[in-house]
Structure 1
Amino acid sequence: MLLRKPSKGSATAVILLVRWRRLLTALRNEVDHIEGLGPHLIPSIEFSDVDDAAQTRRFGRDVRRYGVGIVRKVLPRSSAQQAVSDTVGYLEARAGSSTTRPARFRGPRQDPWCFDCFWTPAQVRCRAHPNVLKAQRYVMGLWETDGDERLTTRLPVSYVDRVRVRGGGFDDVVVEGIVGEVGSEESEESEASSSASFAREERKKMGVGGSGSSNLMNKGSISISSSSNYDHDHDHDHDHDHNHNHNHNHINNHINNHNNNHNNHNNNHHNNHNNHNNHHNNHHNNTTITTTTTTTTTIINTTPDDDPPFFRNPHKHHHHHQQQQQQQQQQQQQLLAADDWISALQSSAGVIAQVDNGSLERWEPDGYGRCGTYNRIFAGDWENYDPWQSSGRVGATTDLYNGYGSCSIFRMFQGLLSLSTAEPGMLRLLPSPRLATAYYLLRPFFSSRRPPPGPDVARPGPEWDAYLDPDNWLLQPEPDTIIHGAVPGHAQRLTEPWHPHLHLRSSLVTLPTLQPGDYILWHPDLAYHFSDPASVAGPAGPDRPVTMLLYVPAAPLTQTNALYLARQRKAFRRGHPGPDFDTLGRGIVAEDPDLRPGEDEIARVGGVDALRAMGLAPWEPEPASAVVDLANLILFPE
């Protein structure tokens, strides 16, 4: 992705700059507003009130304003406690199973309390629970669908995700360092050691440490190139149907389209779910961090002592004759290398927030650009951007790089269902779905005149005020490929050095206390931050009660989601990880069939609606619905 700018002094450049500076002013007021209200701005509603028009009107208004809300008492406390008890027994039994080891159901080392388990009693039952499905239908109804026949919010689909566990002795394994690598749960110790060694070498190649290489942490220079032909002097205009084509075209000139083969490849991804894994493997393996070709090379020079470490968007090209095994190996190696970089980032960048549903994809023409999700923002018209308009998202590709845990479906809300008491401080969110999103999307196109204050300068203060002043920021004078906080196959990262106007220490709001059965949901563009549990509740041990939260997002029925559901159904029947968590497509680390719940448990808890949400029973097209007919054809073709 090469970035270009409008001609210096052109009317378009002036308009974009004026709107950017207006955004910075609005964002400063937004941060002050958020800081003033704190946790009190997060709306909540009792599950028993979701049919009360007066209560839902207030709750819906605030959710749309802040992008987050809590539905209280979705599960009875007794059901939540029983789910925790049964799941603790499941995890302990699985840890002692001859087919698994504790390390194999641990999460990434940056977040080891996120377990790579998908079919525990708590997860299977809670996804199937009628109250959970009803809560999902209710909150998805807050989106604007405008009669779009490509989706229905009346029929939620169950997206299989992980579980967060702490206490009850489960932390002992984490403390001892038995934590699985991201995307490498199948590795034995020797394989893990080999992967870590390779990751270190890859980091050297990418300039993340090591002698003889450019060091991003020390502000080096790197070069990237692509096999695609880019004409730096030619505008690649796109005809978007809104009132700001002219401005949008100039911003869009910063983002070069991929070649036709790449676009066709993504189209096949939507049309044939059987080729989904091959599509993503090929796409990710065509990602290059440092290459040499005969086309064009762009040199990126960072300013000494000014810029934080960064990753740039690598161009993609297709090696049609590579063997599948080589592709998978390269994919795994690149993921590990990026994972190492994120570890380094966590130790050097202060407060870090993340945004799910892709990173680079938000700027990619064949990512969110497929349906113009952020067209208004890229046109500078952020004031009229609607984050709740589903038509701009239902056809987007949110995972171009097959990242481990990167959500490839259209989900309207990320969600956490609490099965125990979760104290304040565990989760913090940035409740600004419009302004904060516009800021981090436009941030790569602008730079400051003066460098940021040094690390010893107090914030706030006059030097910081001068640095953050809107008049200190200009449209990029030269094209570059820096996309702040974006790493292929990983969530978008927001940091204090890269995104200073977000004031993350002030704008990340601490979540109120969650009780067993409470369900918090937030917009997929919202930034959030998980705190180290030890910093919130102190060191855990065998005597500390188990704390358990389930990732339970809310997703509507769409064609893309039905295609994914077909693959997820196969994973369920085999006890394999969900497809987004099985990046190599080999279904490793199957959960023991003698331990995990099956279809009968889903039917017992939630009946036919729960079976349908898992793709285990056909939907009844009443009223008539094109997307229901299509989903039934995909999942039940006979």
Structure 2
Amino acid sequence: MKSHLLSVGRRAASTLTKEAGDISSVFPSLSGKKAEPLPPRYSELKKSLIKGNEEAVTASWHRLLASLKNEIAEIKSKGSDIVPSIEYQDVVSGTVPQSKLDALRHRGTAVIRNVLPRQEALDLKQQAKEYIAANKPKVRAFPADDPAVYELYWTPSQVQARAHPNMLKTQSFLASIWHSSDPTSEISTTYPLTYADRFRIRHPGDAKFALGPHTDGGSVERWEDPEYSRVYRAILEGRWEDYDPFDARHRITARMDLYNGAGACSMFRLFQGWLSMSSTGPGEGTLKVCPLLRHATAYLILRPFFDVSSGRLNLDATFPNSVPGACQEYNPETHPDLDLDTTMVSVPHVEPGDYVAWHCDTIHAVDKEHRGKGDSSVLYIPACAITQSNIEFLKRQRMNALRYSPSPDFPGAGGDGEMGFVGAVNWDQVNDEGKRAMGLGNWKWEVKEGMSEGERKVIDQGNKVLFA
């Protein structure tokens, strides 16, 4: 096994595939990057996307605004309690109440309690701190003067958490919420894949790691990439009520990163998520979400087509707060009808070992200031499905992993990263299921009875590419 891992690692690219930097590279609001006017072709794009449906789209826009008011009123009355909490034990036993499942689908977010034992999660944080201390001169982080988010991807803590059987079961549960309206779609939600992301240890008083409301997965790509725009076809045809956020059919081959943006995600993540390593409540440097999945997505997609003052179609080249090569950001000026001051609610209080998940299109943010007394610490771990593009990404990611280079999507990918760091992870000590989720080892995914044609095909392909 060890010789195989080393041989794969030696084949890794030796040149940078992403520029060096930190998390601020992804957010124009953090980096100070000014949005340049988009070229005229974006006006033509808007016209082509709703051609023949102008009246239907206009009518749907006004229905959406009316429905939003009712949803916003409910969020205002419930606050953080609107985010459902699910017990991990119910996930394992298959007894999650239907009401919780319905709430997860409606809100697009949930807290899954007790995924890891409390002390185990605290131990992961302590190990991460020791790793940082042992390699401090080489560690990149943001902000530089009081780090909160670390440009580290292969610490033993991260690798152990991603490979933990409870985490993998949780990811499989979340993946099961998804489906495809086309049985030939080449996607499998049966087996989880690992996507290597950063981690956060945010200290009390911090006000610099203030990520505002945003959605990952690109910005203008949602309209510009033909397949990506088909995800939102119902919305663009004036039928936003029919939009299914959990239909993976057109997301599978959508191109979410057309501009090689620093930190742009090229792997299809069903849910983003993090594992808590601290006891953290609202206002204590934690996550904020907009629990309006269908409504907020419809608003995002339709907003560029309308003048918010008059309610009339606007087919110029403007896409509010959409900057090529960055994530999609929001603010009260560009997206006023979302009433972000009301709808961006903190997730409920979490304890070490709890896991928070949010749909890949969910608007999310971070508390502007950490007003708590203890650190707010999480390991970012999303839930991913097996698709052709994810298989190819996993192949690239494992090569980076074996030479301790940043994950392919992130600043500095292809560079030295954590090569030579004290306390580096020993890949031979990772459990078999964790290795398989990374495309390592030789344990193939099993084709099971009842799987669709597309699922069987993509599993076979994954086994050939990764485990042959």
- TM-score normalized by the length of structure 2: 0.83
2-structure distance, mates of 1:89, 1:365: 43
**Structure 1 segment 66-77 matched on structure 2, within 5 A:** 66-77=107-118
Q: Please say if residues 355 and 525 of structure 1, whose CA atoms lie closer than 8 Å, have aligned partners that are also in contact.
A: yes
Q: Provide closer, same or farther for how the CA distance between residues 135 and 53 of structure 1 changes in structure 2, counting only shifts above 3 A.
A: closer
Contact residue 408 and residue 414 of structure 2 kept, 8 A: no
Equivalent residue for 1:475, pick from 296, 300, 313: 313
1:537 maps to 372
Matching of residue 610 in structure 1 with residue 443 in structure 2: no
- The residue that corresponds to 2:180 in the other structure is 145
Larger radius of gyration: 1
Answer whether contact 1:566 1:635 (CA < 8 A) is retained: yes
| SS of alignment partner, residue 390 of structure 1 | coil
- Which deviations, in whole Å up to 9, do the C-alpha atoms of 1:98-149 show, x marking residues without a partner? xx2xxx4203679951111111222111000000000000111011235455
Aligned position for 1:485: 321
Q: Counterpart in 2 of 1:46? A: 87
Over residues 416-473 of structure 1, what are the superposed CA-to-partner deviations in whole Å (9 max), with x where a residue is unaligned? 1101112212221101111111111111111144xxxxxxxxxxxxxxxxxxxxxx31
8 Å CA contact 1:6–1:12 kept in 2: the answer is no
Match of 1:80, SS?
Answer: helix
Residue matched to 2:260: 402
Does the residue aligned with 1:621 lie in a helix, a strand or coil?
A: coil
Letter in 2 for 1:629: D
Structure 1 position 558 matched with structure 2 position 387: yes
Structure 1 unaligned blocks of 5 or more: 180-345, 450-471, 539-544
Amino acid at match of 2:361: D
Q: Does structure 1 residue 598 correspond to structure 2 residue 433? A: no
3-state SS of paired residue (2:241): helix
Structure 2: distance between partners of 1:111 and 1:27: 39
The 5 Å alignment of 1:454-533 reads 472-476=310-314, 479-533=315-369
C-alpha deviation, 1:13, in angstroms: 3.3
Tell me which amino acid in the other structure corresponds to 2:381.
V
Mark the CA change 1:533 to 1:442 in structure 2 (over 3 Å): closer, same or farther: same
Q: 1:126 aligns with which of 136, 161, 164?
A: 161
Question: Which amino acid letter does the alignment assign opposite residue 508 of structure 1?
Answer: M
State the match for 2:294 in structure 1: 434
| 1:537-595 Cα deviation digits (max 9, x unpaired) | 26xxxxxx544201000001111111001111011110110000146x53243343542
Q: Note if contact 1:582-1:588 (Cα within 8 Å) is conserved in structure 2.
A: no
Name the CA distance, whole Å, in 2 between partners of 1:131 and 1:359: 33
Alpha-carbon distance in structure 1 between the residues aligned to 2:43 and 2:120: 53
Q: Secondary structure at the match of 2:278?
A: coil
Structure 1 contact 94–592 (Cα < 8 Å) conserved: no
2:288/2:345 contact within 8 Å kept? yes
Question: Which residue is 1:228 aligned to?
Answer: none
2:466: which partner in 1? 635
Change (3 A) 1:110 1:47: farther
Q: How many residues align?
A: 415
- Change in CA separation of 1:148 and 1:35 when aligned onto 2, cut-off 3 Å: farther
SS in 2 for 1:142: coil
C-alpha distance after superposition, 1:166-222 (max 9, x if no partner): 349xx9xx99x9x9xxxxxxxxxxxxxxxxxxxxxxxxxxxxxxxxxxxxxxxxxxx
Matches within 5 A, 1:27-106: 27-96=68-137, 100=138, 104-106=139-141
2: distance between equivalents of 1:410 and 1:29? 32
Q: Secondary structure at the match of 1:522?
A: strand
SS at match of 2:304: helix
**Is the 1:421–1:547 Cα contact (8 Å) retained in structure 2?**
yes
CA RMSD of aligned residues (A): 2.6
The residue type equivalent to 2:135 in the other structure is R
Which residue identity does 2:383 align to in structure 1?
Answer: A
The aligned residue for residue 246 of structure 1 is none
Amino acid at match of 2:202: R
Cα 1:149–1:108 change in 2 (3 A) is: farther
Question: In the TM superposition, what are the counterparts of 1:135-534 in structure 2 within 5 Å?
Answer: 135-145=170-180, 147-167=183-203, 352-366=212-226, 368-369=228-229, 372-425=230-283, 426-449=286-309, 472-476=310-314, 479-534=315-370
Alpha-carbon displacement from aligned partner over 1:469-509 (angstroms, at most 9, x marks no partner): xxx31111xx4211111112211001100000000001111
CA contact (8 A) 2:134 2:422 kept: no
Q: Secondary structure at the match of 2:104?
A: helix
Which whole-Å CA distance do the structure 1 matches of 2:174 and 2:280 have between them? Answer: 22
Query: TM-score of the superposition, structure 1-length normalised?
Result: 0.61
- Contact kept, 8 Å, 1:50 with 1:56, in 2: the verdict is no
Q: How far off its partner does 1:80 sit?
A: 0.8
Do 1:119 and 1:591's aligned partners in 2 also have CA atoms closer than 8 Å? no
Q: Does 1:25 align with 2:60?
A: no
Task: Give the counterpart letter for 1:518 in structure 2.
Answer: D
Q: Which residue of 1 aligns with 2:398?
A: 569
Q: Which runs of 5+ in 2 are unaligned?
A: 1-40, 450-455
Cα distance in 2, alignment partners of residues 423 and 387 from structure 1: 28
Are the counterparts in 2 of residues 361 and 367 from structure 1 also a CA contact under 8 Å? no
User: What is the one-letter code of the residue matched to 1:92?
Assistant: A
What secondary structure is seen at the aligned counterpart in 1 of 2:465? helix
Partner of 1:245: none
Describe the shift of the 1:564–1:13 C-alpha distance in structure 2 as closer, same or farther (beyond 3 A): closer
